Amino acid sequence: MVADTSSHFRYRLRRDSNAAMAWLRDMWTRRWFRWLGWLALAGLLAIILIWVIFARNLPSVDQLRDYEPPLPTMVRDGEGKPVHSYARERRVQLDYSEYPQLLVRAFLAAEDRTFFEHGGIDYPGIATAILTNLKNDGRPVGASTITQQVAKNLLLTGEVSYTRKIREAILAKRIEAALTKEQILELYLNEIPLGRRSFGVQAASRAYFDKDVDQLALHEMAFLAILPKAPETYGRARNAEKALARRNFVLGEMARNGWITTAQRDAAQAMPLGLTETGNRAVAQVGGYYMEEVRRQLIDQFGETAEDGPHSVYAGGLWVRTAYDDKMQQATAKALRAGLIRYDAGKGWSGPIATIEADDQWQSRLASSFIGISYDNWRVGAVLSKTGSEARIGFSDGTTGRLPASAAQMGYRKRGTSAFVAMKPGDLIAVKATSPGVYALRNIPEVSGGMVVESPHSGRVYAMQGGFDVRLSSFNRATQAERQPGSTIKPFVYATALDNGMTPATMIVDGPFCVYQGANLGNKCFRNYGGAGGSGQHTMRWGLEQSRNLMTVRTASQVGMEPIVETIKTMGIGTHEPYLSTALGAGTTTVEKLVNAYAMLANHGRALKPRLIDYVQDRRGKVIFPRNWRPCEGCNQKDWDGRPMPRFAPSGKQLMDPMTAYQVVHMLEGVVQRGTAQRLRDLGVPLFGKTGTTTGPKDVWFMGGTPDVVAGLYLGFDQPRNMGGYAQGGSLAAPVFKQFFLDALADRQPVPFVAPKGIRMVRIDRQSGRRVYGSWPGSDPKAAIIWEAFKPESEPRRTIREEEIKPSKPAQRQDAPVEQSGGRRSDSDFLDDRGGII
């Protein structure tokens, strides 16, 4: 029975199979069935062919889930305010919920009305586009949905072809399966190119209206919605009529779909375009040389483009907190420029800034040169043509103006002619408007210089100016120019002497000093500035205040140059050779390094590092630089929690004995009171400083500041040459610092320099250095008796009687005396009154 059943089962299968085959053979004899079969086979082959040709190597849609668009780097100042950005494209990334729904509907009305209904492809639209293209021989038109545009913008190229359209459609279906409609719209609104180098709706809103998206009016939303079709057409003023027509069409579509009322549509259609030409003013784009130095440091740390890593400057979306102080930066730039112009005044025209071809492409040539000036409404223009009475000049925005010959009569310093006669078509010149359309010639100083402003407490750099204007020359003379510091190096020579047993009251001979250099070279004899000879014995303080070269080299010879150059190296000024000329500033350094060294003097010899950047955050807010950065817990809490206030311990290695550093600063206060920088004395606040003038003179310097702000600068030609016999640090560089102080620091409460623990303040005779009893310093800066700072057990033992002191002017008490029971005022009383000196 089992065998019979098995045989029967096999028989039935064979019979059914034969019946199916017979049915197929029977149906195949019919023509319509054969056609259906061939069509099915062709469809299968078409699907395989499409896969092989179009879909096989398409990019993965999964990358859109974690897509990070290239974003610019935003820079904030010391108070957290955005002040600059590094961007080659305008980009701002928002969440979908941050876009107003009316703005979203404006884009749907313009681009994809059925977006929330289709699955990524608009089939009726495709059919219409195919019929249109069959009748057209030009650029093929499409019916791209928003999803297809996302696929093209983020995963494909902008190639115009049917192949790309097919690949785009395939990707659109995949995107719809992988992302929600809101996620797709977010990608679209953040990435769509909208002209004026803006990508995304928020960036375009700033570029065209200088508003954020939540501040846009209805007609402005509709305008942004028309831009995806032709941003370079609708965004130009000459195409305003086309833009208005297209914008009003979008408003009409919004009304037709019930998204706005008829009254809203009519009111919006009556509005002008209202485009701004100024672009985004939310970020001031300030800083010049300062921000350029920040950019250089960021590129060194993170790279420039996306290929360099995820945190690159132009794609990483970094947030950079700097020490930038806008008030100080403006004051620094103003003061340095004024000093350069003051020196250059009366010397004639220095010649054209640059030259271009004065053909019909002059505007693009001028714009692409990126040459400009941000000073006193000056402009850079190109000479387009010239007659005997005036020149026609053009500007990068396409406007033109007149330069009368009478407004360009300053002498051309390289020839014996006027500037007007010397200039020719194609020259780029600086001008300033005197009336509408009429300009006068201005001169860019040939001399240049650099200036840095730093905190002596932290090393944070508040301001930096590396020349007249960064758009004229990107070379930063504050950080890149290696110059001889001249007499500004002398405080570190004397600091070494103080560490080797000398005191500010040590008597040093100001007299001829020669060094035998061998049979071939003979004697090398040093001189004071201007060739002045010696004047006998004086205190170290007097030698520093009056910047006496002979006293400095005699001190250096006595102490030895090896420890002096070691001090210079330790303080970060540079690695110099142990020659006596180094003690007079024959080595080289930069303004930034020297300012930092003076800041360390004011910081009691503790190490500082010049710091423009406080910290850097990635696009998600995580601090990625410096690597050891830690937040200050509780520093920003709203209310006091009753616990002790945080106390920050001094940071940085002790590079110099704090008492030595203070002694140097105390002597440098005398430079301001009665020395080479006494033109600063009338500022009436505690200041220390040192002037410098190099051989030639080729460079003039000033370094100094207050207990809270240290600044320094130099003036000189880029190719060093003689500035003229009258050029000195006290007459050219110190006034620059003075103007900076008046503009940036004059409203601050004056604070004294505080002595470190161990310093002894002793009354001495200023000329002999001998200790004084029974008499008091006066208010006159040149009084015979002064307070001097000594290390323990180093103060003078010899005394001088009051009648032996050489009279200068009647000494006046610096402060109101406190009467003691015996009528005598003690040293401790004075020190207690001064506050902070222990």
Residues that are catalytic? 111, 487
Which segments within 405-518 are labelled E, that is strand? Answer: 427-435, 438-442, 448-454, 461-465, 507-510, 513-516
Residues 272/309, Cβ–Cβ less than 8 Å: no
Angle between helices 490-499 and 549-559 (to 10 degrees): 40
Question: Whole-angstrom Cα distance, residue 627 to residue 708?
Answer: 27
Token readout for 19 is 């019946």
For residue 625, the 8-state DSSP code is E
Residues 701/597, Cβ–Cβ less than 8 Å: no
CA 757 to chain centroid, in Å, comes to: 39
Question: Whole-angstrom Cα distance, residue 715 to residue 488?
Answer: 13
Residues 178/82, Cβ–Cβ less than 8 Å: no
Token look-up 């008499």 returns: 775
Token readout for 581 is 């000329």
Q: Which of 732, 665, 676, 662 is nearest to 705 (CA)?
A: 665
Coil/strand/helix, residue 568 = helix
Residues 574/489, Cβ–Cβ less than 8 Å: no
For residue 699, the 8-state DSSP code is E
Coil/strand/helix, residue 552 = helix
Token readout for 87 is 């961007």
Q: Which of 330, 339, 333, 340 is nearest to 736 (CA)?
A: 339
Facing residues of 713 across strands? 451, 702
Pairing mode of beta strands 799-800, 771-772 = parallel
Question: Whole-angstrom Cα distance, residue 652 to residue 650?
Answer: 7
Token look-up 């062709």 returns: 42
For residue 156, the 8-state DSSP code is S
- Please report how many Cα atoms fall inside a 13 Å half-sphere around the Cα of residue 487, on the Cβ side: 33
In the 3-class helix/strand/coil scheme, how is 810-822 assigned residue by residue?
CCCCCCCCCCCCC
**CA 34 to each of CA 40, 41, 46, 743: distance values in angstroms, whole numbers, following the listed order:** 10, 11, 18, 94
Quote the longest CA-to-CA distance of the chain: 150
Q: Which amino acid is at 386?
A: K
DSSP 469-508: -TTT----TTTT--B--GGGGHHHHHHHHHHTT--TT-EE
Token look-up 């995949």 returns: 174
Coil/strand/helix, residue 553 = helix
Q: Please enumerate in sequence order all residues whose Cβ is within 8 A of that of 109, keeping only pairs 6 or more positions apart, or say none.
A: 225, 250, 253, 254, 257, 259
Q: Is the preceding omega at residue 626 within 30 degrees of 0, hence cis?
A: yes
Rounded to a whole number of angstroms, the distance between the first and last alpha carbons of the chain is 122
Token look-up 């409404």 returns: 377
Question: Whole-angstrom Cα distance, residue 466 to residue 718?
Answer: 12
Strand ranges across the sheet with 688-693: 461-465, 448-454, 710-716, 699-705, 688-693
Question: Whole-angstrom Cα distance, residue 28 to residue 94?
Answer: 61
In the 3-class helix/strand/coil scheme, how is 642-676 assigned residue by residue?
CCCCCCCCCCCCECCCHHHHHHHHHHHHHHHHHCC
Coil/strand/helix, residue 611 = strand
